[in-house]
Structure 1
Amino acid sequence: MNVQTTEEGYHYGVIRRAIELIDAGGESMPLDDLAARMNMSPAHFQRIFSRWVGVSPKKYQQYLTLGHAKALLEERFTLLEAAQNVGLSGTGRLHDLFVRWEAMSPGDYARKGADLTIYWGWFESPFGPALVMGTERGICGIGFAAEAGAEATMEDLLSRWPQATFVEDPMRLRPWVLSAFGAASDRLEPVPLYLIGAPLQIKVWEALLRIPSGQVTTYGELAQSIGQPRAVRAVGTAVGRNPVSWLIPCHRALRKSGGLGGYHWGLPVKRAMLAWEAARSEA
């Protein structure tokens, strides 16, 4: 696995290791201890962490408590009908993602990617190594290997479009990836998505795109929003089959009870994403 080793990649690696330590610890870790584990001075570590996450390490740890998902559901639950009016470009805050998307036609989807060239590359992200895939039209796949492993992540995304031609070309994807993860926040470019899925899946993914950053919804609410209130299980399956994790925010879907539910790339990754967004939204 050839993960990029740019300055952004190095900093992402630092943040990823810090998040893993915070998540695994269960209790708040002092700044000095975290910095020492990163082989950095406390001041340097605090600057890097705050730059990428938007808040201090101490503040971030508050969002990784066991009750965080339930609190999100109580305090930041969004009705998708209202969220539909928000707009995908957000309010101009640096951490908001500017996403535009288009969907492959049902007929093209049925051909399983035939005559489609998909470029791919490995990148560092705040949530571990990320496998990113894209066509000429935009990103069509993002998978995270921190829990699943690199080989399984690659096999998973390749299997989505078995008839496509796959070409390794990370530099083609890099500008979109930097914008997607916020590394280029001072020169943010639009992130185009090319959604490749069945019609029901596309409807569910479109609904997910209407959930503002830092807020959450339930699987039942998603089913309501696409006009199929009894199809909660099918909607949950479509959420799990989302190929563009993070940008199509399936991590924002929770159980009605406030439980995290499942997550295709591992629950630690989902918890880190929710905490990251909540922290930056408050900041």
Structure 2
Amino acid sequence: VEAAELTAAAVVRDAAAAIEAAETPPTLEALAARAGYSPFHVLRLFKAQTGLTPRGYADAVRARRLADAVAEGAGVAEAAFAAGYGSLRGAYAAAGGITPGRARRGGAGETITAAFAECPFGPLLVGATARGVCFLGFAGPREALLADLRRRYPNATIIADDAALADHVAAVLAFIERPRGGLALPLDLQGTAFQKRVWDALRRIPPGETRSYSEIAAALGRPAAVRAVAAACARNPVALAVPCHRVVGKDGGLHGYRWGLPRKRALLAAEAGAGD
């Protein structure tokens, strides 16, 4: 059974990588040919481990590309067609109804204070406006983390001030050390209405527990919006504070954590452990 599970995980990882790398989503038949299985079997494996069909996963990837391009300053129409949408209507629907003006503001008029620290997973970057933490990233080179913050808020003024965010950074480090204690930070979450509903749902998942994409969609009263939930998870700007690491595949498998599956596994193991 263990060998079969490893084979299934490898098939799904390969299919997901193929979808991520392709400009045009590969067909189910093409993914099946790569795996050496029937299309039905690949579909079943993919859905069991991710909670999504390959098509749904591809839609989430495309929605993420659209959001990233708009955040970087591209026009909505340009970004939509570059991401593979055939119409602006489809792009707006995938983005949760985000409007062109709202998408392009990109932090205009905002001042974001940023602070770096070292954590067990590597460099940690916290960014905050006057209203609360708007960015939390880790486990990457400092330059890459800062570039991610600037990509999300291209029009904001970003200033470095470790002392100003010392309490926030200390809270994050304490959470990583003892995650069952939870992480309570003032947050300034900037996203679409649907994204915010998803992020709120993630914050309600207790430490030591997990939910699938489909369970979150059902809890929001949108059971058919599984791929939109996945896209919102991918756009989470505050790792750990909005615990997208607690979202797993329908079968409980670990998938799609941008900070790396080993770190997701470590966080979940620590949260499930005895103690606090």
Q: TM-score, normalised by structure 1?
A: 0.56
Conserved 8 A contact 1:176-1:190 = no
Residue in 1 that maps onto 2:154: 162
Deviation sequence 1:117-155 (CA, Å, 0-9, x none)? 00101112233221111111111111113xx43322221
Output the CA distance in 1 between the equivalents of 2:215 and 2:190. Answer: 23
For the aligned residue pairs, the C-alpha RMSD in angstroms reads: 2.7
Residue in 1 that maps onto 2:94: none
Output the CA distance in 1 between the equivalents of 2:157 and 2:230. Answer: 29
Conserved 8 A contact 2:112-2:127 = yes
Q: Which stretches of structure 1, 4 residues or more, deviate above 4 A after TM superposition?
A: 105-110
Q: Which has the higher contact order (CA 8 A, sep 6+)?
A: 1
Residue in 2 that maps onto 1:171: 163
Residue in 2 that maps onto 1:272: 266
5 Å matches for 1:114-125? Answer: 114-125=108-119
Q: TM-score, normalised by structure 2?
A: 0.58
Alignment coverage as a number of residue pairs: 175
Output the CA distance in 1 between the equivalents of 2:145 and 2:136. Answer: 9
- Are residue 136 (structure 1) and residue 122 (structure 2) matched? no
The runs of 5 or more residues in structure 2 that have no matched partner are 1-97
Residue in 2 that maps onto 1:208: 202
Deviation at 1:108, TM superposition (A): 6.0
Conserved 8 A contact 1:131-1:154 = yes
Conserved 8 A contact 1:223-1:231 = yes
5 Å matches for 1:1-283? Answer: 111-145=105-139, 148-182=140-174, 191-279=185-273, 282-283=275-276
Conserved 8 A contact 2:195-2:232 = yes
Q: Secondary structure at the match of 1:130?
A: strand
Deviation at 1:113, TM superposition (A): 0.7
Higher fraction of helix = 2
> One-letter code of the match for 2:145?
T
Output the CA distance in 2 between the equivalents of 1:157 and 1:275. Answer: 28
Conserved 8 A contact 2:184-2:241 = no
The runs of 5 or more residues in structure 1 that have no matched partner are 1-104
> One-letter code of the match for 2:189?
L
Conserved 8 A contact 2:183-2:240 = no
Deviation at 1:189, TM superposition (A): 9.9
Deviation at 1:109, TM superposition (A): 6.1
Q: Secondary structure at the match of 2:151?
A: helix
